[in-house]
Amino acid sequence: MTDTLILAQATVGGIEQFWQMVVGGLALGTIYALLAMGFVIIFKATQVVNFAHGALVAVGAFLVALTAVEIDVPGRWIPSAPTWVTWALAAVLGVALGGAAGMVLERLFIRPMVGEPLFQIAILTVGLDIVLRTIVDDFAGLDGRPLADPWGTATATIGPVTVPHTQLVQLGVTVVAVVAVALFFRSRTGVAMRATAFDQEAARAQGITVGRIFGLSWLLGAVLAGVAGIFASIFPRAAGVSSATAFVAFGAFPAIILGGLDSIVGAIVGGIVIGLAESAASVYLTGFSNVLGSGFSAIIGYVIMLLVLLIRPYGLFGTEEVRRV
Amino acid sequence: MLSVENLEFVYNDVVLVLRGISLQVPTGKIVALLGANGAGKTTTVRAITGLAAVHEGDITKGSVQFEGADITGRDPSDVVRLGISQVMEGRRIFAELTVLENLRAGAYTNRAGMSASMDRVMALFPRLVEKRSATAGYLSGGEQQMLAIGRALMQNPKLLILDEPSLGLAPLLVKQIRDIVVEINQQGTSVLLIEQNANMALSIAHHGYIMETGKMVMDGDPAKLLKDEDVQEFYLGLHGDEGDRKSFRDVKHYKRRKRWLS
Ligand SMILES: Nc1ncnc2c1ncn2[C@@H]1O[C@H](COP(=O)(O)OP(=O)(O)OP(=O)(O)O)[C@@H](O)[C@H]1O
Ligand SMILES: [Mg+2]
């Protein structure tokens, strides 16, 4: 009975459906990967488990809605430039402001807590999450604010699949972001950040200004969250930044754990895997909704996470002792 | 150059570990600081270099002067920028980074002089040239110690503090490290050498201090210290017939008692 069902699915869907599923999964996966990467960078550098990361996603998207639509900066000063240029500039500005906000939050709320138990700091970030989300909600509400991206709902047909332009941009931007992060970690400051992550006291002994590194890790994390926030707020995922935007973090959480909390490569792989799994579940498991329930694709990530944790308690790429304080 | 005056140091607001110690490192010299486990040598380094806060420690009295400026309680990054670098106890290299990245992390405060310092370090430690792309955690103990020294030299310090660099190394390597310390000193860097290996330290030092439970108990010419009976008995194990190491004071006390008994 089940066998015939799967067979039927496979023949109906066929290869086209499969590739469509893969593209959708990758697109979702890159959002998770961007988010997870930022989370892991903050965790590695500062040991802080940042429960406000979902809020940073919303704040980033909110600031882009602000710069690109609400106040139209820098578009209002260069009216003759093509829309995609002014929009891209506004997006960069919004994301940068989001990064600055992350740095300010670290300086105001996290830095004074250095030396306190990490659990307390984690709880503080929960509070931060609530406050930030409330602020964004007040602005955006349930209906959402559009980001007015230049790609709209346009799609391209590549072989057997139809891909929204936004998702092509998204894949490209994610690759650029991953390369940029990799390059950063080879730079002077990046090496200092890795040194700090490995042994904070020894880093201090080299004259590395650890507080600056902390702030920078929050800046990086918030920038990556903001980029993820843009793609979580435009076609085909949503019609704008709204009170639901921050919840993308719930989807990314299994990706972080799956990858292993302190591994950036793990964050990327985990993000893609969970994205693909969610996509596959939503395509192939809908036939089982009488058994699994209708929203199964939303929790498949958690199922995978739990299964992996049973076999590898530190995640796929995590180091064994999540370590010294 | 470095002058520590009457320093008192407390951990967690209660544990008094330094009870008013003073020491001087004159420009261009090697000064040895000896003491048993728990005497407070590493604590002295932390007090000088600003790493007290990391350990919930505080300087409660006294001062640290460097080249005439008061640097008591300054930030570690300030201390490094002023010209004091340290090789921490236990090496503390960044094991997940490559050798080259460790050295670059060491040069964080010395962007302008980085390539000159790199040349100096590579000339001192040819072994590190060979291993420059290796992950530091996979180096041997001796190589790791060289990397730790090299990393500190990347800051082009005026004063280098080494905390037990010979710890856990074979005699041949200890000799090698000793020669390197001499060479570094001859290149113009003053050295504060902390050791339990009295022989090694006193053989190259211009002046020696001996510390015991947070106090300086003796200081002077290294050759004289080496000849001192108590130092010999306690640090070099020359006369001592008892196997386990006792406190320096116990040795004196024990001898006094022996005299009294006979
Ligand atoms: N973080 C800390 N908190 C409380 N007490 C400490 C701390 N670090 C060291 N101590 C105590 O201070 C005393 C001196 O320690 P310190 O590490 O300075 O000694 P040391 O001379 O370097 O010894 P060793 O030769 O073993 O390295 C010891 O009694 C130690 O238990
Ligand atoms: Mg010590």
What is the spatial distance between Cα B155 and Cα B114, in angstroms, rounded to a whole number? 8
Whether residue A207 and residue B105 make contact (CB cut-off 8 A), yes or no, is no
Q: What does the pLDDT look like over A153-200, one tens digit per residue?
A: 999 999 889 999 999 999 999 999 999 999 999 999 999 999 999 999
Ramachandran angles phi, psi of A46, nearest 5°: -120, -5
Is the pLDDT at B260 greater than 50? The verdict is no
Residues of B in contact with A204 (CB under 8 A): 50-51, 54, 76-77
Instruction: Work out the average pLDDT over B60-81.
Output: 96
Is the pLDDT at A250 greater than 50? The verdict is yes
pLDDT at A67: 93
Is the pLDDT at A1 greater than 50? The verdict is no
Is the pLDDT at B24 greater than 90? The verdict is yes
| Token output for B225 | 């210290």
Is the pLDDT at B73 greater than 70? The verdict is yes
Handedness of CA A114, B87, B165, B216 (dihedral sign): negative
Is the pLDDT at B240 greater than 50? The verdict is no
What is the spatial distance between Cα B96 and Cα A198, in angstroms, rounded to a whole number? 7
pLDDT at A6: 47
Q: By CA distance, what is B53's nearest residue in A?
A: A115
Instruction: Work out the average pLDDT over B108-115.
Output: 96
**One-letter identity of residue A206:** Q
A203 found inside a domain: yes
3-class SS of residue B8 = strand
pLDDT at B241: 45
Q: How far is the CA of B55 from the centre of ligand 2 (A)?
A: 13
Whether residue B95 and residue A198 make contact (CB cut-off 8 A), yes or no, is yes
The minimal CB distance from A194 to the residues B51, B77, B97 is found for B97
A110 pLDDT band, cuts 50/70/90, is very high
Whether residue B54 and residue A201 make contact (CB cut-off 8 A), yes or no, is yes
* DSSP letters for B33-73: EEE-TTSSHHHHHHHHHT-TGGGTEEEEEEEEEETTEE-TT
3-class SS of residue B129 = helix
pLDDT at A325: 30
Residues of A in contact with B86 (CB under 8 A): 205
pLDDT at B256: 42
pLDDT at B261: 41
B262 pLDDT band, cuts 50/70/90, is very low
Distances, alpha carbon A213 to alpha carbons B42, B117, B244, in Å: 26, 24, 46
Within 8 A by CB and 6+ apart from B171, the residues are none
Is the pLDDT at B113 greater than 50? The verdict is yes
| Token output for A245 | 């935007």
Is the pLDDT at B254 greater than 60? The verdict is no
Q: Do you know the residue count of chain B?
A: 262
A35 found inside a domain: yes
The residue among B178 and B247 whose pLDDT is bigger is B178
pLDDT at B238: 54
Is the pLDDT at A322 greater than 60? The verdict is no
Structural domains of chain B ordered from first start: 1-83+159-221 (3.40.50.300), 95-156 (no CATH), 228-262 (no CATH)
A23 found inside a domain: no
Distances, alpha carbon B85 to alpha carbons B64, B82, B103, B157, B205, in Å: 15, 9, 13, 6, 18
Report percent pLDDT > 90 for chain A.
61
Is the pLDDT at A10 greater than 50? The verdict is no
A320 pLDDT band, cuts 50/70/90, is low
**One-letter identity of residue B133:** S
pTM (predicted TM-score) = 0.89
**Closest C-alpha to A275, from A318, A228, A320:** A228
pLDDT at A305: 87
pLDDT at A7: 45
Q: Do you know the residue count of chain A?
A: 325
Residues of B in contact with A192 (CB under 8 A): 105, 108
> Left, alpha or beta for B168 (phi > 0: left; psi -120 to 50: alpha)?
left
What is the spatial distance between Cα B41 and Cα B46, in angstroms, rounded to a whole number? 9
What is the spatial distance between Cα B90 and Cα A53, in angstroms, rounded to a whole number? 36
- Interface residue A205 vs chain B (CB under 8 A): yes
Tell me if B193 sits within 8 A of B206, measured CB to CB.
Answer: no
Number of domains in chain A: 1
What is the spatial distance between Cα B179 and Cα B184, in angstroms, rounded to a whole number? 9
pLDDT at B17: 95
Atom nearest to B40 CA in ligand 1: 18
Whether residue A194 and residue B106 make contact (CB cut-off 8 A), yes or no, is no
| Token output for B163 | 């905390």
Report percent pLDDT > 70 for chain A.
93
Q: What does the pLDDT look like over B169-214, one tens digit per residue?
A: 999 999 999 999 999 999 999 999 999 998 999 999 999 999 999 9
Q: Which domain holds residue A222?
A: 29-245
Is the pLDDT at A15 greater than 90? The verdict is no
Min Cα–Cα distance to chain A from B113, Å = 14
Instruction: Work out the average pLDDT over A84-95.
Output: 95
**Closest C-alpha to A31, from A180, A225, A234, A184:** A225
pLDDT at B208: 96
B257 pLDDT band, cuts 50/70/90, is very low
A262 found inside a domain: no
Q: Which of A111, A193, A206, A323 to mutate to test the interface with B (most CBs of B within 10 A)?
A: A206
A170 found inside a domain: yes
pLDDT at B231: 76
Is the pLDDT at B258 greater than 50? The verdict is no
Is the pLDDT at A321 greater than 90? The verdict is no
Which strand (E) or helix (H) includes residue B84? strand B84-87
Mutate to test the pocket of ligand 1, among B4, B7, B8, B11 (most ligand atoms within 8 A of CB): B11
A253 found inside a domain: no
Q: What does the pLDDT look like over A192-237, one tens digit per residue?
A: 999 999 999 999 999 999 999 999 999 999 999 999 999 999 999 8
pLDDT at A63: 95
Ramachandran angles phi, psi of A20, nearest 5°: -60, -40
**One-letter identity of residue B212:** E
pLDDT at A142: 66
**Per-residue exposure over B33-60, b if at least 16 CB sit within 10 Å of its own CB, e if not:** bbbbeebbbbbbbbbbbbbbeeeebbbe
